[in-house]
Structure 1
Amino acid sequence: MEALLMAEEKTKQDKKGRLLALRDYLYKYTDEQHPVSTQELIDEMTRQGYPGNRKTIKDDIDVLNKFGMDIITNVSRGNSFYMASREFEIPELKLLVDAVSSSRFISAARSEQLIGKLTAMASEYEKEQITPRIFTGDRIKANNPHLYYVVDMLIQAIQNKKKVRFQYGEFDADKHKVLRNDGEIYINSPYGCLWNDDFYYLVGYSEKREKVVTFRVDRIVDLEIMDDDIIPEPADFDMSDYAKIVIEMFDGEPQEVELLCDNELMKSVIDKFGENIKTERVSDEQFKAVVNVSTSKTFYAWCFRFAEQMKIVGPENVKNTYIEMARSVIG
């Protein structure tokens, strides 16, 4: 009796193993252009230690399909089989691989790991369509292997509504990493993280500065989650609006600014501020744009990029600051 029970248990285990082996093989080695025959599947399962026949193959495929797999049986080709769909389509994987490959936030080593995981979601043949698009060696990449864990801790703190404390790094004139303000401890009530220009930014409330501020996540050092609950978001705070106003993620005074631009700059203005900004053609050569921005040095630097093709019309205080910055550059 005991021997019979053991034999039945082994049969169950063999069937489970055969199903998993069959699923993995179809996932890795088949697609619409590369189906496999029943005999090829029998031979492969036998090679892996799961001998069977045409009936077991058919029954196992029926079970896999019943539980969500998309395995197509091509009767016209003598019952050949292939995995018809996966979690991601090839165009989607290409987009994800390119995003990971080009991201400065993700280190080169971590990029290769992520790309490996993404390409594993395609068949061995489809990988060839993705791999040639991977170029990471000549791109500037982050050199901080702990970024993943910093982001993970920040997400935990945001979800649990707990304050965080940390130090903030920067570089001195000799390109040495140093702590800002002699190692000052920053305490922040985190509200969310924003992605902008290939960098992650923490957005949260600073009690010291009594306002919502941003920090580059890759410059955060010795992050800790505190036991204290966060200070609730100000009543007038909206993360989407904040992201639109604080361009390039540098703090400044949010203001409505009027720009006078050459017509050819319309695409650059829309790229920066979106299609919903207020614009008005003023001549055959120029248009006006009214934008809500954080008037920081970064905003002024963005305007400088276009030299005489873009002018700040108002308000007067912003215009004067821009003029003074131009004079200081000239010396």
Structure 2
Amino acid sequence: MILKGEIAMAGKTGNILALYAVLYRCTDEDHPLTMREIQDKMVDMGYNCSEDTILRHMRLLREWDVKVEGSMGRNAKYYLGNRLLKKEELKLIVDAINASNFIGREIAAEMVQKLKELLSENQRDYLDRNVLGMVNNKTENQKILDNVDKIQEACDKKVPISFTYMKWNKDLELVPKSDKAEIVNPWSLIWTDDRYYLYAIKNKCGKLVERHYRVDKMTDIKLLKDQTREGMVKVREICPNTYVSRRMGMFTGDERKITVAASEEMVGPIIDQFGKNIKVCANPDKTDKSNELLIEFYAVPSIILLGWLIGLGDVEVIGPKEVKEDMIDLLKKTSAKYDRQG
């Protein structure tokens, strides 16, 4: 049996929730409502409250840390002053979602729509503007969030995973890279270059090696719950603060100390890529201002790194010897291609 007091309490709770819903959905600092407007909107929801009742409910909301702001006087207006996130903060999140390559268009649109619910109806259009050039190369994989969830679950449970890794073919279709499933030990998700990568350890012919995989190119992920994850010793060797910057293009391999001769103008781009943990000194063998400095930094000497150094312009690889030889070989091969073209 429901007592009268319980009915009254249920009605009071409903009135308070209706008032909060009106303030949350319809008001903000730039769009306050008068008491009459609040009452009308509550009536539309099926709740009829006097002005005194609404004022009491506002006091209760304030006691529950809901910041109901209001002006004074006969024509007082009210609005909700505190929200989980400000519209400027939400705009940054929305821009990041729209800019992210790994979040597909449909998923991004759905996420943005949910974020809009955190603002008043009057502010939601603020999140609709696009930043130029953001969504030209969105992923085709609409199960990306499921992939992230499964990988994280595998990391939490410390188990290996199997999956099919995809590649683009000449018909611009994603197809399996191999007819065999990849089996790896997942250790971490890495966000870099606007994409998610899986950092994993793979057992290759009895040797544990690092591997990176684009999460948006992974399908059919399965947790191998009857197996134990490997690679703890290997993972302990990495430095989280420098790992990504030293592996341009997410190439795996051993880090080397790279020395280049360059001008002072090249210090900035190198710091931007590798951080301030570099060494700069005068070049004792300088011939002109373009190679007046020796700059040392640590990186994986991949083809991406060599191409990046070429793109800087007046930068000469000094060492190690093998990296310098790789650079010379790359330049010769590239030059030969253009020579053949006349």
TM-score (norm 1): 0.90
Contact 1:102 1:139 in 2 (8 A): no
Partner of residue 129 from structure 1, selected from 119, 126, 129: 126
Tell me the equivalent position of 1:230. 229
Tell me the equivalent position of 1:210. 208
Q: Distance in 1 between matches of 2:73 and 2:249?
A: 58
Shift of 1:54: 1.4
Tell me the equivalent position of 1:240. 241
Shift of 1:135: 5.8
Tell me the equivalent position of 1:71. 68
Q: Distance in 1 between matches of 2:97 and 2:11?
A: 39
Q: Distance in 2 between matches of 1:144 and 1:254?
A: 32
Label 1:41 to 1:70 Cα distance change in 2 as closer, same or farther (>3 A). same
Label 1:294 to 1:77 Cα distance change in 2 as closer, same or farther (>3 A). farther
Matched residue SS, 2:244: helix
2:325 aligned with 1:320: yes
Tell me the equivalent position of 2:268. 267
Alignment of 1:30-69 (within 5 A): 30-69=27-66
Q: Distance in 2 between matches of 1:33 and 1:321?
A: 62
Shift of 1:8: 4.2
Contact 1:101 1:136 in 2 (8 A): no
Partner of residue 11 from structure 2, selected from 14, 18, 30: 14
Matched residue SS, 2:255: strand
AA aligned opposite 2:180: E
Tell me the equivalent position of 1:193. 189
2:297 aligned with 1:291: yes
Shift of 1:137: 7.8
Contact 2:290 2:314 in 1 (8 A): no
Shift of 1:82: 0.9
* Structure 1 stretch displaced more, 247-256 or 124-133: 124-133
CA RMSD after TM alignment: 2.3
AA aligned opposite 2:273: K
Matched residue SS, 1:252: coil
Shift of 1:232: 4.6
Q: Percent identity?
A: 25
Runs (5+) with no aligned partner, structure 2: 337-342
Q: Distance in 2 between matches of 1:327 and 1:265?
A: 24
Tell me the equivalent position of 2:161. 164
Partner of residue 87 from structure 1, selected from 74, 81, 84: 84
Shift of 1:243: 2.3
Deviations 1:252-307 (A, max 9, x none): 3311111223433333222211233323355754543222111112212222323x
Deviations 1:8-50 (A, max 9, x none): 4443333222222221221122112221122221221122111
Q: Structure 1 stretches (4+) deviating beyond 6 angstroms?
A: none
TM-score (norm 2): 0.87
Contact 1:253 1:296 in 2 (8 A): no
Contact 1:167 1:220 in 2 (8 A): yes
Matched residue SS, 1:295: coil
Shift of 1:248: 2.2
* Structure 1 stretch displaced more, 164-173 or 187-196: 164-173
